[in-house]
Amino acid sequence: MMSSTEVEAYRLDLRERVIRLETVLDRIERHLSILNDRTVALEQWRSWMSGGMALLGVLIAIGIGVL
């Protein structure tokens, strides 16, 4: 059986480990949020680029008399 000082030391060790894990998880969540924001920005840029290319294609087709 563990003495009260051993139990207290064990509790402190567990508390420190939990705090370190929470810190790491918080950093990971912030990093994932940054990556998600970048992904959203790239997807929006791709949509605008696709629309611009389609519009350019239509304007060229009108310009050469296809449409």
pLDDT, tens only, 7-59: 999 999 999 999 999 999 999 999 999 999 999 999 999 999 999 999 999 99
The tokens for 2 are: 């563990």
Q: What is the pLDDT of residue 66?
A: 76
Angle (nearest 5°) at CA 47 between 44 and 49:
110
User: Distance between CA atoms of 20 and 17, rounded to whole angstroms?
Assistant: 5
Q: What is the pLDDT of residue 67?
A: 66
Output 66 or 9, whichever has higher pLDDT. Answer: 9
CB under 8 Å to 61, separation ≥6 — which residues?
Answer: 67
Output 65 or 22, whichever has higher pLDDT. Answer: 22
